[in-house]
Amino acid sequence: MKNDHSCQAGNGAKPASATDGNASGFTRMRSKLAFDRLVEMGAKMGMENPLFLCHERAAKATTLINGKEYLNFSTYDYLDINAHPEITEAVTEAAALYGTSAGASRLVGGERPPHRELERALAELYGVEDCIVYVSGHATNVSTLGFLFGHRDAIFHDGLAHNSLVQGARLSGSTRYSYAHNDCDALEELLRNKRAEHKRAVIVTEGLFSMDGNIPDLPRIIALKKQYDCMLLVDEAHSLGVLGATGRGAREHFNLDPTDVDMWMSTLSKSMCGCGGFIAGSRELVEFLKYGSPGFVFSVGMPPVIAVACRKALEIMLREPERVHKLQQISQFFIRYAAEIGLDTGAAQGYAVVPVMVGDPMVAGFLSNALFKRGVYVMPITFPAVKEGTDRLRFFLSAAHTEEHIRRALDAVREAMPEARAIVDEYKRTHADAAEGD
């Protein structure tokens, strides 16, 4: 991986490193060594580093990098709302009134009207009593699970649950059970065998899985939750704005009673065009979190301008459901066209996130490089983000994408795939021959 395209690093800039003998350094950490080997191998093979490229304008269906326009499949702007003029106007007015910082933790002096307005709107969206907004989406899960549960409790989570959910489970000190991805039979077996050993229990899943683009069987999970006396947290980071006729997420998709889910969680960085995260649920739960959750109590409040941006994005989504319909239609077209030209989209169901399965990390990297040279920007996803052997390109789709965009991108994948595989196969063959000759 040869070049550094970072906005911050200069040409040839190298990070400072500790000596091998420095116990506080990172040079001997297993994950770093594995990454170093990948970077070194990629550089020897002529692969440029696809990470940290500097985008010079808002990332929409297209983006601008080093003055060149690319088709963009690495943006969370699912509903094509980011940079909407109404949002720009609203945040400009809010910045003039509140500045750009909440100034303090909301508990002690950072509370502003936009925070409460956003929380009321999100609670109404989910049909529950209240909502709490955190300054970070990742911290929402870590802090909520870490605070609510303890060593006498159990957390049952999907095997492909997001890192934030797993880290929150670890922080809690609860016994953690991982069940096979989207396998409710495996979950039921774990609950039957282990639930009685713990005081409290929570089942954790996602509304739309961020790597595979598939949806869990929430009605059955809710039935298991009730049968085994568990709480339920559903992470809607990638399903809010994506599922349902009006973008209300998994609740609308399955026509669920909103109170059957104890914690509706989502980030605000995807369809809501901001940053941060929230938990929506009962008033008692939200009050408990507001007075005790470390990620809320000990963190500065969300900047009021971000709260205003998210509130306006939510308003636009509900006012213009055609954005949701366009996203769903283009996602389904992606699945159909990929199948038509022989590309594997794995378990994806055609909702905003669609992988093209590759199966080898170096092939995924070279494929991403080849597409970039053809004017298509899409990122490779490899271990440890996904299981070894399930390496892929991950496409994020937007209501701004057209069928022509999809055809152009997928045709480029089909054309570039054989060459990427040939480069990697040749490298492996050559180095295997060299090893045998030693």
Q: Which residues are catalytic?
A: 210, 238, 270
The 3-state secondary structure of the chain, one letter per residue: CCCCCCCCCCCCCCCCCCCCCCCCCCCCCHHHHHHHHHHHHHHHCCCCCCCCCCECCCCCCEEEECCEEEEECCCCCCCCCCCCHHHHHHHHHHHHHHCCCCCCCHHHHHCCHHHHHHHHHHHHHHCCCEEEEECCHHHHHHHHHHHHCCCCCEEEEECCCCHHHHHHHHHHCCEEEEECCCCHHHHHHHHHHHHHHCCCEEEEEECCCCCCCCCCCHHHHHHHHHHCCCEEEEECCCCCCCCCCCCCCHHHHHCCCHHHCCEEEEECCCCCCCCCEEEEECHHHHHHHHHHCHHHHCCCCCCHHHHHHHHHHHHHHHHCCHHHHHHHHHHHHHHHHHHHCCCCCCCCCCCCEEEEECCCHHHHHHHHHHHHHCCEECEEECCCCCCCCCCEEEEECCCCCCHHHHHHHHHHHHHHHHHHHHHHHHHHHHHHHHHHHC
Amino acid at 354: V
